[in-house]
Amino acid sequence: MDHGKTTLVRYMTGTDTDRLEEEHRRGISIVPGYAELTLPSGRRASLVDVPGHERFVKNMVAGSTGVDAFLLVVAADDGVMPQTREHLDVLRVLGVRRGVVALTKIDAVDEETVELAELDTTELLESAGLAVPIVPVSGVTGKGVDELLLALDELAGGSAGRVETLARLPVDRAFVLKGIGLVATGTLWSGEIRPGDTLYTSTGLHPRVRSVQNHGRSAEIARAGARTALDLVGIEAGELEPGDVLLSNPVPTTRTLDARIQLLESAHPLKHGIRLRLYHGTRATNARVRLLDRKELAPGESALARLALQEELVALPGDRFVLRSSSPQVTVGGGTVLDPAPTGRRSEKRWLEALESGDWARVVPLALARVPQRGMTAEELSFVVPAAPVEVAAAAEGSPEVAKLGDLYALTGEVEAARQRLLEALKKRAEERPESPELSVAEARTATRLDARLADALLAALSGDAKVLTTETGVSLPDAEEVPPELEKEAGELLETLRRTGAEPPATDATPAARFLLKRGEVVRLTDGLFASKEAEEAILEEIKTVCREEGEISLAGFRDRLHTSRKYAQAWLEYADAAGVTRRVGDARVLTRRYR
């Protein structure tokens, strides 16, 4: 606090970021202020000047969201203060590791004091594991500012653009401008926003972007990292407030997060079930913390946790958040979202560990197993996995456990089982109603036991491969309609003969008609060259079971006499019963297998 942030920003940019009357009256910053900085290379950077007072750390956290790098200000006369440490802690839990330190007010103190403050700062940076330059400056005389600008330029050059396609703008201000309408501002987290885009709010509205501004200038596009002001239509004053999120695609909100949380060295041990304040984007809410793998979290350590939130958030995997205690009001740690929409009442460690592994080929099948009947698009997967849709798609397509149907991914095993069920149902319908062997589309979907969306994708894929025939009236097996009439006739005659001759069928070759009846289950094959009707088979097996149950066993001669048949048929049937698992040979006789006893 009071270390010279606002003064330095004013010197470098000409912009006074203390806009509020109260800020001028009290001589302190209260809300984040924004200024544009042109660097020596011509690159433009956005500066967010955050308040330093400990009462406004929550504003500092909101202001720090979405930044690429930090400019930490330490006054040479005071040196490192508790707020210096807390700001650095916040940056650490938000994952902002790149930055520069400005050692200010060097005009007001002697060289020795500057050196002491520099030593102090070096120690702090070392303990935080940060290797960043320290530049002594004065925000009053401008001494050292050129060096500072060069250091910032170097940082800006190393800022990698974020690749996600989803645009997310956590709103930090929303106000009505006369003659313009509702204006929302924020630091764009990811993606791009253009005039004409339709956006989605976390509250289910979808305003349209009339114009985009960056630091007061009209812009054709807002890119990730940019300070962004949007003029919105289709939304009323009061329907959008700081803390809300504007999105390029609808994302479900959540009240439960599974996360890896980190406790600061300076914090007290954290107990299971504790209530903390959670800061995510520009939103703050109460959160109850349930530790998943221990009862208590020691300072400096991390753990898996489930956070139950009081208010809804738009959170995605990989998002960072800050945790603060309410009394005393101090930052205690933070975390990374692993699963923003946990399904079960209890979290699965295996799933969370896979998410942390960064091995998407391992995560994608587990993600699909959570919705086995639904399948997911690459975009839906990217809401579950902290990776862009293209990366997720590549991982999915490389995995043998994952099948692709249209633009849906699903588990290979589930798709295969659904395919079998569908083909079975189609076969059954063709047998039961050869005159109309079709299932309606609704019946076909039901038969797959998949969600309609995935079922339709499966039907489309099977039609494409000519495995099924889809017409306006329904779905059928291609060959169910294509039985040639001669075959139908021949098969009908053969079946009649076999039914008439019962246990003593005439020798029959494996003709197409015989194979057709076999496939339909109307006949069975006794031995090579001998087919019998299904009815005869059922009767004979019953007879064999009865004899065995009455007499304990059955012999070839005994069975032949009982059937009044020849030795040839008696032998064929007994061997068939052996093969069917009904009987088993014991010496010269046969007994029932255990299953039929």
Ligand X SMILES: Nc1nc2c(ncn2[C@@H]2O[C@H](COP(=O)(O)OP(=O)(O)OP(=O)(O)O)[C@@H](O)[C@H]2O)c(=O)[nH]1
Closest distance of CB 105 from ligand X, Å: 4
Closest distance of CB 24 from ligand X, Å: 10
Q: Strand 192-193 relative to strand 274-280: parallel, antiparallel, unpaired?
A: unpaired
* Identity of the residue, 71 or 378, whose beta carbon is nearer to ligand X in the bound complex: 71
* Identity of the residue, 107 or 575, whose beta carbon is nearer to ligand X in the bound complex: 107
* Identity of the residue, 87 or 280, whose beta carbon is nearer to ligand X in the bound complex: 87
* Identity of the residue, 37 or 263, whose beta carbon is nearer to ligand X in the bound complex: 37
Residue 3's binding partner out of ligand X, Mg ion, none, with CB under 5 to 8 Å set by partner kind:
ligand X
Closest distance of CB 22 from Mg ion, Å: 13
* Identity of the residue, 6 or 256, whose beta carbon is nearer to Mg ion in the bound complex: 6
* Identity of the residue, 6 or 336, whose beta carbon is nearer to Mg ion in the bound complex: 6
Residue 104's binding partner out of Mg ion, ligand X, none, with CB under 5 to 8 Å set by partner kind:
ligand X
Burial 17-52 (b: 16+ CB within 10 A, else e): bbeeeebeeeebbbbbbbbbbebeeeeebbbbbbbb
Residue 392 to residues 162, 257, 311, 363, 400, Cα–Cα distance (Å): 16, 21, 30, 9, 14
Residue labelled with tokens 């021949």: 490
The angle that helices 567-579 and 556-563 make with each other, rounded to 10 degrees, is 120
Contacts of 150 (CB under 8 A, 6+ apart): 40
Residue 440 backbone phi and psi in degrees, to 5? -70, 165
Closest distance of CB 285 from Mg ion, Å: 26
Among 522, 520, 537, 535, which residue's Cα sits nearest to residue 572? 537
Residue 374 to residues 406, 504, 553, Cα–Cα distance (Å): 13, 52, 53
* Identity of the residue, 80 or 309, whose beta carbon is nearer to Mg ion in the bound complex: 80
Closest distance of CB 147 from ligand X, Å: 14
Q: Is residue 435 exposed (0-12), middle (13-18) or buried (19+ Cβ within 10 Å)?
A: exposed
Closest distance of CB 9 from Mg ion, Å: 8
Residue 264 near residue 331, CB atoms below 8 Å: yes
Q: Which residues bind Mg ion (CB under 5 A)?
A: 5-6, 29
* Identity of the residue, 5 or 105, whose beta carbon is nearer to Mg ion in the bound complex: 5
Q: Among all residues, whose Cβ is closest to Mg ion?
A: 29
Closest distance of CB 59 from Mg ion, Å: 11
Closest distance of CB 47 from ligand X, Å: 12
Other residues' Cβ atoms within 10 Å of the Cβ of residue 245: 25
| Max intra-chain CA distance, the chain | 124
Residue 207 to residues 185, 225, 238, 239, 367, Cα–Cα distance (Å): 14, 22, 13, 10, 32
Residue 215's binding partner out of ligand X, Mg ion, none, with CB under 5 to 8 Å set by partner kind:
none
Positive or negative, the CA dihedral 537, 542, 543, 545 is positive
Closest distance of CB 173 from ligand X, Å: 18
Q: Where is 414: in which H helix or E strand?
A: helix 412-432
Burial 258-272 (b: 16+ CB within 10 A, else e): bbbbbbbeebeebee
Q: Among all residues, whose Cβ is closest to ligand X?
A: 52
Query: Cα(first)–Cα(last) distance of the chain, in Å?
Result: 89
* Identity of the residue, 1 or 134, whose beta carbon is nearer to Mg ion in the bound complex: 1
Q: Which residues bind ligand X (CB under 6 A)?
A: 1-7, 28-29, 51-53, 73, 104-105, 107-108, 138-140
Residue 7's binding partner out of ligand X, Mg ion, none, with CB under 5 to 8 Å set by partner kind:
ligand X
